[in-house]
Structure 1
Amino acid sequence: MTTQSSMPLVTQRLRERNRKALEAKVAAENEAEMQSTKITVAGLLALQELAEIAQGDTHQPQHCRRVLLAVYNSYAWPLNLTSLRVLDDNLRRAALAVIEWSAISDRELHEYLPHGHELMQRFAAIEQQKEQ
């Protein structure tokens, strides 16, 4: 049986525990928001880099196009992971940043690029031509 004098102590401990739990939850939410912002910023910068490189006609641009097309429409353009393995280190990191960003983005990749839909269609045409 709990005595009347111990009830304030129990109530105080419960309040303290609840306060700490709430603070931990707020801290976790803030950390998640900061991480999401970091991924978004890195992903958008990487997207711009890959889109610029992908407009070239050498070996690296082809693989950048493949990564972008996979993010744009993975059903039509599945990503062969070899495309990541043959990219230079900085382009591989950019590709992975775009992939990670696309997983949390609330909009489609082409919406972040000037004339993005047309650009992706052009990349698809180039890659279809290379497949033939």
Structure 2
Amino acid sequence: MTTNHSMPLVTQRLRERNRQALEAMIDAEDAADQARAQLDGKGPDAWQRLAVVAQKESGQSHHCRRILLAVYNSYAWPLDLTRLRVLDRDLQQAALTVIEWSIYASDEPHGYTPGGNELMQRFATIEKEEQ
């Protein structure tokens, strides 16, 4: 019977495929860990950049507040993606970084800033008054 002869080859090929799949999974996890580490490095600065602009009084400030509020509580403050279009390029990049960072951060982004919760409450008050 040829089946007995081919069984070791099939088993060997399956082991090799399993090894390759495991290595691919490990590589993907390593890449994700590196991406998270980069976001942890860039995220707080991007959040701070938006928060500084959000405390001013301009059209860009309004949009920065709404983006930060959406990251803070998207149920109460849904994000209208057209807000990203009206921002300057550096603020767009900061907003996208904060949004991505908020997905992977171990804590809420506003928690990385002293008084961050109070600041977000202040932004919410300003935005409610403007509605």
Please tell me the TM-score bracket, short chain as reference: 0.7 to 0.9
Q: What RMSD over aligned residues (CA atoms) do the two structures have, in Å? A: 2.2
Q: Which amino acid is 2:81 matched to?
A: L
Q: Which runs of 5+ in 1 are unaligned?
A: none
Other-structure match for 2:24:
24
TM-score, normalization: structure 2? 0.82
Equivalent in the alignment of 1:53:
53
Greater CA drift, 87-96 or 73-82 = 73-82
Residues paired across the two proteins, number: 131
The amino acid of 2:41's aligned partner reads: V
Q: Taking every aligned residue pair, what percent have the same amino acid on both sides?
A: 60
Structure 1 partner of 2:114: 114
Q: Deviations over 1:110-132 (max 9, x none)?
A: 2111101111111112222222x
- 1:57 match: secondary structure: coil
Counterparts of residues 10-89 of structure 1 (less than 5 Å): 12-89=12-89
Output the TM-score relative to the length of structure 1. Answer: 0.81
Where does structure 2 lack aligned partners over 5 or more consecutive residues? none
Once the 2 structures are TM-superposed, how far is the Cα of residue 43 of structure 1 from its aligned partner?
2.5
